Structure 1
């Protein structure tokens, strides 16, 4: 049978091992997981203390002591008041007053021991629920980004005498919108006759034109790429990779057009920098950040009738 001294030695080793585990867990915790890790470590320390107290009491014949490491309800209320919003406090205090009462008597007339761990979990659940409700209220008070963006865009359309032609949000929208604009100003897309190309396939010609220009002018684009030029060109030419400023620049130079992009903010103009005798045509695009489910999107803007 284990002696008291041997038990003390074992207990000290268990405490030392647990401290090492706790330290390791806290080091690995992130900002998001830190609260949960701290709670887990507290529970491990409490469980070890309770077991060691029971083993010590069994060996010495003493009564098993009450666990004191879980804070009283009054202490928790005070701590909660300093670390949570009024909304969280209200829910927490209401829960404590309505569901946490003095322990009822058991069948033999002795008071039941309070389940402090269960009480603490109930308080934490109430606090989390209240925090979620507060977040929902804050979100509801934020302006609707879609509505704000749409309102500003419509004002710019009216100011410039433009109407919007919707483009399918399929990853090809920039190239489809440019193809529609080129057809409006009478600029051929290139290759075969435009009349022989189905409308929903014209983006492919524009994609190839942008890819071809980027590939032929690497010094103008390599500094802005995060991947090899050949790999980037292949994606623009052969996949549904979204187009952006680099592709607009390539298309402005390829077709000698001035591309005006209306957006929620200052309008953007991409010029061809061509010094030819012919004045560049102006084409118009609408750029959205919030109004389409896939994210960023371009529509074509035509002159109002």
Structure 2
């Protein structure tokens, strides 16, 4: 059986610590009465902090592992160079085959250490990356409202799919509006109220406001393609649905559109660094509480 590498041992340790933390969180939840809303709100914030602290701890340990591995790789390379310098011509001739074999082994060892170092570095970058940090901030914000992110597929329809999901969750409609219907109604509203939208649409090449032809093409794209939706389309959707919409962001205040309408907000999460292409919308759902789930 092969001996585990330092990286594998560290990952195993991190998994155990995450599992232990979940057990601790479960115990904390069990200790708080379900009717004590104030304490449960505090508990939610404490849980978010515990998870964030553990992530930072793992990040620091992975950094240290990366530094140690880099030092080992350099040591191996230096040893190879030393062997080359210290060996005389006579010794080199006598041990030619051994030296070549040793060089191959040393090179292979150095490459393996470098591979392990790259793996550790990638893990650190993931923990430090903008996407990870954005996710932590959003989780903390949502936890204060007893909410969590509900993932929506990234296919160009994400904003409409998030609205579709919110309607299904919050309004309990018997016949929910589909993404196709939401796009069609949005485009129809924009066409019928061009004066409300044209001032905000400009040609990227000239900077001039859209012509009638350009605006019609924009609306056709909204209706018939996977064109990404933004605040203009959300404004149109509040009019179509007669409902307010809020968009929660990690590093900016929550955007609220359609405040003139009564009713519970449809809530979306805007993520600037979710995928390689960048911007993305997700839906939200009630924060899952294992202690409540067990009782139901």
TM range (shorter): 0.3 to 0.5
Q: So what's the TM-score if we normalise by structure 2? A: 0.47
Indicate the structure with greater helix content.
2
**Which has the higher Rg, Structure 1 or Structure 2?**
1
Q: So what's the TM-score if we normalise by structure 1? A: 0.46
